[in-house]
């Protein structure tokens, strides 16, 4: 059931990609004498290397570089590791300004390792493949500018990206997936389907929902809200801003301030100003903690489950903002559970059941990862051991496959991260369950036990969608914009052939609308084929063409977005179909 992260195909792939990056650096140095090299790591998508080049290059040069790389790989040179002193390293890299600067920045006494293959040498911690011939199929993909060590005050270098796989077949499959991902890009589809927009005037990373998008978001929230209430959750609403004292108590002021927005409010008078500092919330937990603390709590009340669709704001760098997937303003389907030590395992099991319910609805396959105690942490050994065992027990009870990510938990508790796989095989991290030893302590939370003593409650953070914006972006790409019937902003397009069919079309619209359906009548004076193409482009689940036969017979010809023509159907049967979908 449980596995630790170890040397596997993924690790071997990263090692091979790192080795390919070194081959790229050697090829560029050979083809462009005088090149200074920066860093060249492997990445999830491939690898890159940063260069200070004697002359500009672009993707037009990739063919020549790849040809040189293939020669180097065919030479079958071994990757050899050496440990050197600072003085030796400076001698080896005497002509490499960037490397010399980096060597100077290394702490005294730190082990310095280099790797050689053929005539090439680089500062590197490794690991690498045995020899260049073990490098599989590769391709260079793009160039970009990158500041040395990521500092905008430093020199701008040329970054060359590439990717590599063990076989040509895997490489070809990767580029096929990229093409498919481009077609599914939620930023493109979000605009075409009228879901959301971004405004330069409003600011970076602040999505604004058009009517179609608002319908989808509200349907997602309504669906989850009803389910949570059935599961014993209570909905709460908390402010968007708090006095800085809240963030000082929670620890965010000291440890998260650079990711937050702070401002001053004059709470005095014009003659006697009194400035108070406030912060916009980057998360909802302090509000829920204060709601728990607002009254004395008894063991009889526990577990208490607060949930909120809370909009939060985080200061993300503009370069990493990416549509709905990474925004500065977003809404979390946030919940916090306050319970006793004994109740913890049942609460985690119930959360995993909820995760399964949500992910199964969208046909997502998923796995779990349990992150354990890091070197720096708070809480006792007993608390950590109990909480970690609870997470494992919950996964095993739920028959959920999980990996152990040793030492990668938060300083305040272990967690479960849920990773889902979409329709084209990409993995996304969505839901999370997090034990928190920190906030109950900082806010001095208590409850009265059976024995009339006071004890600290255990606290769980829990999100299923995570960010609703991000989850919607994933859904758009997963379904290529063709959302399920219950979630589609427009479920039915009625297309009258001529103006004389408009009354019948609107009568049908009214019947569908009365059972909670969402329907548009295409009234514009356009050719029938144009109207049909428009409905198809909007990925509307059902299309009904209304002509003389339909008006006279009372039956309608229904076209399904995926299955095509469904044939004739009575109006009552079709309305019933939409009514059932609207109950979701």
Active site residue 159: no
Contact in structure between 376 and 438 (CB atoms under 8 Å): no
- Three-state DSSP at 516 gives coil
Active site residue 334: yes
Contact in structure between 98 and 151 (CB atoms under 8 Å): no
Among all chains, which residue has been given the structure tokens 């607060």?
A: 306
The residue annotated as part of the active site, out of 17, 18, 336, 398, is 336
The residue annotated as part of the active site, out of 50, 122, 333, 334, is 334
Angle between helices 9-31 and 62-74 (to 10 degrees): 110
The DSSP annotation for 354-395 comes to HHHHHHHHTT-EEEEEEE---SS--S-HHHHHHHHHHHHHHH
Instruction: Give whole-number Cα distances, 36 to 49, 148, 532, in Å.
Output: 11, 11, 58
The residue annotated as part of the active site, out of 20, 124, 285, 395, is 285
As a whole number of angstroms, the distance between CA 130 and CA 414 comes to 37
Active site residue 346: no
Q: Whats the size of the chain, residue-wise?
A: 584
The residue annotated as part of the active site, out of 128, 252, 281, 314, is 314
- Three-state DSSP at 420 gives strand
Nearest to 510, CA basis, from 494, 497, 530, 488: 494
Three-point CA angle 537, 358, 364, nearest 5°: 65
Active site residue 430: no
E strands, 15-174, where? 36-37, 47-52, 80-84, 112-117, 120-123, 137-147, 156-165
Name every residue whose Cβ is closer than 8 Å to that of residue 279 and which is 6 or more positions away in sequence. 241, 242, 244, 246, 247, 252, 253, 260, 261, 262
Q: What are phi and psi of 325, to 5 degrees?
A: -75, -30
The number of C-alpha atoms within 13 Å of 67 and in the hemisphere containing its C-beta is 6
Active site residue 285: yes
The residue annotated as part of the active site, out of 22, 461, 462, 539, is 461
As a whole number of angstroms, the distance between CA 236 and CA 225 comes to 11
The residue annotated as part of the active site, out of 128, 288, 415, 501, is 415
Q: Give the burial class of 452: count Cβ atoms within 10 A of its Cβ; 0-12 exposed, 13-18 middle, 19 or more buried.
A: exposed
Give Cα 425 distance to the centre of its chain: 15
Contact in structure between 422 and 470 (CB atoms under 8 Å): no
Active site residue 124: no
Return the structure tokens found at 212. Answer: 């179609």
404 - beta bridge partners? Answer: 4, 370
As a whole number of angstroms, the distance between CA 236 and CA 280 comes to 18
Give Cα 526 distance to the centre of its chain: 41
Pairing mode, strands 427-436 and 365-371: unpaired
Q: What are phi and psi of 296, to 5 degrees?
A: -70, 135
Return the structure tokens found at 475. Answer: 């859904």
Give Cα 536 distance to the centre of its chain: 29
As a whole number of angstroms, the distance between CA 550 and CA 542 comes to 16
Return the structure tokens found at 439. Answer: 């906030």
Which residues are designated catalytic? 285, 314, 332, 334, 336, 415, 461
């Amino acid at each position: 059931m449980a596995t630790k992260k170890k040397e596997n195909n993924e690790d071997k792939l990263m090692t091979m990609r790192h080795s390919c990056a070194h081959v790229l650096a050697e090829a560029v140095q050979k083809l462009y004498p005088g090149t200074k090299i920066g860093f060249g790591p492997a990445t999830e998508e491939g690898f890159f290397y940063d260069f200070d080049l004697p002359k500009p290059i672009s993707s037009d040069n990739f063919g020549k570089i790849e040809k040189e790389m293939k020669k180097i790989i065919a030479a079958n040179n071994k990757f050899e590791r050496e440990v050197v002193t600072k003085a030796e390293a400076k001698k080896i890299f005497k002509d490499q300004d960037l490397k010399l600067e980096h060597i100077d920045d290394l702490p005294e006494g730190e082990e310095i390792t280099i790797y050689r293959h053929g005539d090439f040498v680089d500062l590197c911690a490794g690991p690498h493949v045995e020899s260049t011939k073990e490098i599989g199929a590769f391709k260079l993909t793009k160039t970009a500018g990158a500041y040395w060590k990521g500092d905008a005050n430093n020199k701008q270098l040329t970054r060359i990206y590439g990717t590599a796989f063990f076989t040509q077949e895997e490489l070809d499959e990767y580029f096929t997936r990229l093409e498919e991902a481009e077609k599914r890009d939620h930023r493109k589809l979000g605009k075409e389907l009228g879901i959301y927009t971004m405004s330069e005037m409003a600011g970076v990373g602040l999505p604004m929902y058009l009517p179609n998008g608002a319908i989808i978001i509200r349907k997602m929230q309504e669906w989850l809200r009803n389910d949570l209430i059935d599961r014993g959750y209570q909905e709460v609403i908390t402010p968007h801003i708090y006095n800085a004292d809240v963030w000082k108590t929670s620890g965010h002021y000291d440890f998260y301030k650079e990711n937050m927005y702070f401002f001053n409010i004059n709470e005095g008078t014009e003659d006697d100003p009194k400035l108070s500092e406030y912060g916009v919330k980057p998360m909802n937990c302090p509000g829920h903690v204060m709601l728990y603390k607002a009254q004395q709590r008894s063991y009889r009340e526990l577990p208490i489950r607060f949930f909120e669709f809370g909009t939060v704001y985080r200061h993300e760098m503009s370069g990493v903002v990416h549509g709905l997937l990474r925004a500065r303003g977003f809404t979390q389907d946030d919940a916090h559970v306050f319970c006793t030590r004994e109740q913890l395992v049942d609460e985690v099991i119930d959360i995993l059941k909820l995760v399964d319910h949500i992910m199964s609805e969208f046909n997502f396959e998923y796995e779990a990862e349990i992150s354990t105690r890091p070197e720096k942490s708070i809480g006792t050994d007993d608390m950590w051991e109990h909480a970690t065992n609870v997470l494992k027990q919950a996964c095993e009870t739920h028959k959920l496959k999980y990996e152990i990510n040793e030492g990668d938990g938060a300083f305040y508790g272990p967690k479960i991260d849920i990773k889902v796989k979409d329709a084209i095989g990409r993995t996304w991290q969505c839901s999370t369950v997090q034990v928190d030893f920190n906030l109950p302590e900082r806010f001095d939370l208590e409850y009265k036990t059976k024995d009339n003593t006071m004890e600290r409650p255990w606290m769980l953070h829990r999100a299923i969608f995570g960010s609703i914006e991000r989850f919607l972006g994933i859904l758009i790409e997963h379904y290529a914009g063709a959302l399920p019937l219950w979630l589609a902003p427009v479920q039915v397009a009625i297309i009258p052939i001529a103006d004389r069919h408009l009354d019948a079309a609107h009568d049908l619209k009214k019947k569908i609308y009365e059972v909670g359906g969402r329907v548009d009548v295409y009234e514009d004076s356009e050719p029938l084929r144009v109207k049909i193409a428009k409905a198809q482009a909007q990925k509307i689940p059902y299309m009904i063409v209304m002509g003389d036969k339909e008006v006279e017979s009372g039956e309608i010809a229904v076209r399904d977005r995926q299955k095509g023509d469904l044939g004739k159907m009575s109006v009552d049967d079709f309305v019933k179909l939409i009514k059932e979908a609207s109950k979701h």
